[in-house]
Copies of this chain bind each other. A is one copy, B any other.
Amino acid sequence: MSKLGSIVSVMALVSASSLALAGEWQALPSKAPEPASNPSTPAKVELGKILYHDPRLSSTGTVACASCHNVMAGGEDNRAGSVGVHAQVGGRSAPTVWNSAFNSVQFWDGRAASLEAQAKGPVTNPIEMGMKSWDDVVARLKQIPGYPQAFAAAFGSSDSVTADNAAKAIAAYERTLITPNSPYDKFVNGDKSALNDQQQRGMKLFAETGCNSCHSGPAFNGPTLPEGTGFYQKFPMHDNGVLEAQYNFTADKGRAQETKNDADAHLFKVPTLRNIALTAPYFHNGKVKTLNDAVRVMAKLQLDKDLTEAQIEDIAAFLNGLTGEFPKQEMPRLPGYPGKTFDFN
Contacts and interface: CB of A to CB of B under 8 A. Distances in A.
Interface of A: 53, 55-56, 60-62, 67, 70-74, 77-79, 83, 86-87, 277-278, 280-281, 289-292, 316, 319-320, 323, 326, 328-334, 336-342, 344
Contact of A77 (B62, B74, B79, B340): B62
Main secondary structure of the interface of A (DSSP, over half): loop
A47 to B, nearest CB: 14
B338 A320 contact: yes
Contacts of A330: 328-331
A60 B78 CA distance: 10
Given A72-B332, A277-B336, A278-B337, 18 more contacts: A55-B70, A55-B77, A62-B67, A62-B77, A70-B334, A73-B334, A74-B336, A78-B342, A79-B344, A277-B339, A278-B338, A280-B337, A281-B341, A289-B341, A290-B340, A323-B338, A329-B331, A330-B330
A316 B342 CA distance: 18
A67 B62 CA distance: 7
A67 B60 CA distance: 12
Q: Which of A83, A330, A341 has most chain B Cβ within 10 Å?
A: A341
Contacts of A74: 336
Contacts of A61: 77-79
A274 to B, nearest CB: 13
